């Protein structure tokens, strides 16, 4: 007999700092959708992988942001890789792989207009659609090119440099002829950044980091790509060159804080005439196809390397995976495997 229900993860209680496993989210059961329940233009998909993103913590707060807060009882939103199992669409067939924003659920009904066909380029793999060729790869691309306006000879400093976004930023900056310093939270990550071609990488957890950072930035910073905010942003401001560009991509160090803090030396923006600019990748949605094509080209030529950290254990592992992101467990893109496509390496939390 086939399965009669599937599960989703819904918001149960808004956290005040870190999410609390077993309290912030709860599992909800749903009846399996039958083929005859689908309307024209709809498909039924099985979720294979969830994208786990730092911004998810912000969606749980009842505050004004670039998307409305998740409601209590609502299924956790997020990008996924899924497989079409039943189709009433002329554009998709059973067996097709797609990406969509159906969130933390094992199955979903989606409209064809909300699905993106998944193409695996030469040298690529299915999961790149959520990493190097997905939102984080695109964030790196538009952040460093459009906001950072990186050019040959620039000295670029990247925080969160071994993450999904940061690792792609470092490599694009190198492709554009910049000198790159990456900031990361472990010695293993320092080594990986060197393999990626970074000129230098520093572990910000080293007790001597402030001194090392000062020495490593003696030529002063042209472009700072910030994924973490907090004390690292303050240090970067103290080493900014006149007319430098600060790409404000994220501030993960503050996402779980009940009392977020900002840099004390914000007046450096004035005295060094810094252009500090935030952005949300979806502002560039019309340009995604062209950017994805260029990223895929770099990937197929071997000019773009990537890693991913896959958490196994199905939907139930998603909340712990989200917590692990703030502990720096991942190198490269963090994903949760909901349903195995084939035997892939992964971690159990
Ligand atoms: N603006 C946009 O449109 C946009 C889109 C996507 C992502 N983002 C932002 O980009 C940043 C990176 O996102 P991602 O998806 O690529 O995640 P990620 O970098 O793959 O993962 C997060 C990494 O952040 C580091 N980290 C965690 N807590 C930290 C802390 N307190 N201080 C310093 N580093 C810390 C950890 O690495 P370490 O081991 O090195 O600490 C962790 O691996 C996030 O801030 C995210 O919000 C922005």
The tens place of each residue's pLDDT in the chain, 349 residues long, gives: 567 999 999 999 999 999 999 999 999 999 999 999 999 999 999 999 999 999 999 999 999 999 999 999 999 999 999 999 999 999 999 999 999 999 999 999 999 999 999 989 988 999 999 999 999 999 999 999 999 999 999 999 999 999 999 999 999 999 999 999 999 999 999 999 999 999 999 999 999 999 999 999 999 999 999 999 999 999 999 999 999 999 999 999 999 999 999 999 999 999 999 999 999 999 999 999 999 999 999 999 999 999 999 999 999 999 999 999 999 999 999 999 999 886 556 666 6
Ligand 1 within 6 A of CB of 58: no
Instruction: Calculate how far, in angstroms, residue 251's C-alpha sits from the geometric centre of ligand 1.
Output: 7
Q: Where in the chain is the domain with CATH 3.40.50.720?
A: 135-282
Domain with CATH 3.90.180.10 in the chain: 5-120+308-337
- Which atom number of ligand 1 is nearest to the Cα of residue 53? 15
pLDDT given for residue 339 in this prediction: 93
In angstroms, the CA 334 to CA 65 distance is 23
How far, in Å, from the CA of 1 to the mean position of ligand 1?
43
In degrees, rounded to 5, the angle at the alpha carbon of residue 293 between the alpha carbons of residues 288 and 297 is 145
Q: Give distance in angstroms: CA of 233 to centre of ligand 1.
A: 13
Class of domain 5-120+308-337: alpha beta
Q: Of 1, 3, 12, 72, which Cα lies nearest the Cα of 44?
A: 3
Which residue CA neighbors atom 46 of ligand 1 most closely?
250
Give CA–CA dist 133/147, Å, rounded: 19
Q: Compute the distance between CA of residue 123 and CA of residue 107 in angstroms, rounded to an integer.
A: 29
Secondary structure of the chain in the HEC alphabet? CCCCEEEEEEECCCCCCCCCCCCCEEEEEEECCCHHHCCCCEEEEEEEEEECCCCHHHHCCCCCCCCCCCCCCCECCCCEEEEEEEECCCCCCCCCEEEECCCCECEEEEEHHHCEECCCCCCCCHHHHHCCCCHHHHHHHHHHHHHCCCCCCCEEEEECCCEHHHHHHHHHHHHCCCEEEEEECCHHHHHHHHHCCCCEEEECCCCCHHHHHHHHCCCCEEEEEECCCHHHHHHHHHCEEEEEEEEECCCHHHCCCCCCCCCCCCCHHHHCCCEEEECCHHHHHHHHHHHHHHHHHHHHHCCCCCCEEEEECCHHHHHHHHHHHCCCCCCEEEEEECCCCCCCCCEEC
331 Cβ below 6 A of ligand 1: no
CATH classification code of 135-282: 3.40.50.720
Is 325 in contact with 319 (CB distance < 8 Å)? Answer: no
Ligand 1 centre and the CA of 187: distance in Å? 17
In the block, tokens 């997905």 appear at 134
Q: What is the pLDDT of residue 128?
A: 97
* pLDDT given at position 119: 87
Is the Cβ–Cβ distance between 80 and 56 less than 8 Å?
A: no
What's the gap in Å between 160 CA and the centre of ligand 1?
Answer: 5
Q: Is the distance from the beta carbon of residue 55 to the nearest atom of ligand 1 less than 6 Å?
A: yes
How many CB atoms lie under 10 A from the CB of residue 200?
16
- Length of the chain, please? 349
Distance 34 CA to ligand 1 centre (A): 39
For ligand 1, is residue 102 a contact (CB within 6 Å)? no
Query: Is residue 250 lining ligand 1, measured as CB closer than 6 Å?
Result: yes
The reported pLDDT for the residue numbered 289 is: 96
Q: How far apart are CA 300 and CA 161, in angstroms?
A: 22
User: Distance from the CA of 225 to the center of ligand 1, in angstroms?
Assistant: 11
Q: CA-CA distance, 175 to 172, in Å (whole number)?
A: 5
- Residue 307 tokens, joined: 């890693």
Q: Is the CB of 47 under 6 A from ligand 1?
A: no
**CA angle 139–219–248, rounded 5-degree value:** 25
Residue of 205, 230, 310, 328 to test ligand 1 pocket, by largest number of atoms within 8 Å of CB? 328
Query: For residue 4, how far is its CA from the centre of ligand 1 (angstroms)?
Result: 38
- Residue 3 pLDDT: 78
| Ligand 1 atom, smallest distance to 329 CA | 43
Ligand 1 atom nearest to CA at 254: 31
The pLDDT assigned to 54 comes to 97
In short, whether 54's Cβ falls inside 6 Å of ligand 1 is yes
Q: Is the CB of 306 under 6 A from ligand 1?
A: no
Identify the residue whose C-alpha is closest to ligand 1 atom 2: 280
Contact 278, 227 (CB under 8 A): no
Tell me if 160 CB under 6 Å of ligand 1: yes
Is the C-beta atom of 328 inside 6 A of ligand 1?
yes
């Amino acid at each position: 007999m086939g399965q009669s229900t599937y599960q989703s993860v819904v918001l149960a209680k808004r956290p005040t700092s870190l999410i609390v496993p077993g309290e912030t989210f709860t599992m909800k059961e749903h009846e399996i959708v039958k083929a005859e329940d689908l309307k024209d233009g709809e498909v039924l998909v099985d979720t294979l992988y969830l994208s786990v993103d730092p911004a998810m913590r912000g969606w749980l707060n009842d505050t004004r942001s670039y998307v409305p807060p998740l409601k209590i009882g609502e299924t956790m939103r997020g990008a996924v890789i899924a497989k079409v199992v039943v189709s009433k669409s002329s554009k998709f067939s059973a067996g097709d792989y797609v990406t969509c924003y159906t969130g933390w659920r094992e199955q979903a009904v989606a409209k064809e207009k909300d699905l993106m066909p998944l193409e695996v380029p030469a040298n690529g793999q299915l999961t790149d659609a959520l990493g190097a060729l997905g939102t984080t790869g695109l964030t790196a691309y538009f952040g460093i090119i459009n906001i950072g306006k990186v050019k040959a000879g620039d000295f670029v400093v990247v925080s969160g440099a071994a993450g999904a976004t940061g690792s792609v930023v470092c490599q694009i900056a190198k492709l554009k002829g910049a000198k790159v310093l990456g900031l990361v939270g472990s010695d293993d990550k320092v080594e990986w950044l060197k393999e990626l071609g970074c000129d230098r990488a520093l572990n910000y957890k080293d007790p001597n980091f402030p001194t090392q950072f000062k020495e490593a930035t003696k030529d002063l910073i042209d472009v700072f790509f910030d994924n973490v905010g907090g004390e690292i942003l303050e240090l970067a401001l103290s080493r900014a060159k006149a007319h430098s560009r600060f790409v404000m991509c994220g501030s993960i160090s503050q996402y779980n804080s009940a009392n977020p803090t900002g840099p004390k030396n914000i007046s450096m923006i004035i005295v060094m005439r810094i252009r500090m600019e935030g952005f949300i990748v979806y502002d560039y949605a019309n340009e995604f196809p062209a950017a994805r094509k260029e990223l895929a080209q770099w990937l197929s030529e071997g000019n773009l390397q990537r890693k991913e950290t896959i958490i196994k254990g199905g939907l139930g592992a998603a909340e712990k995976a989200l917590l692990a992101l703030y502990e720096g467990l991942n190198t490269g893109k963090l994903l949760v495997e909901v349903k195995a496509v084939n035997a892939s390496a992964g971690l159990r939390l």
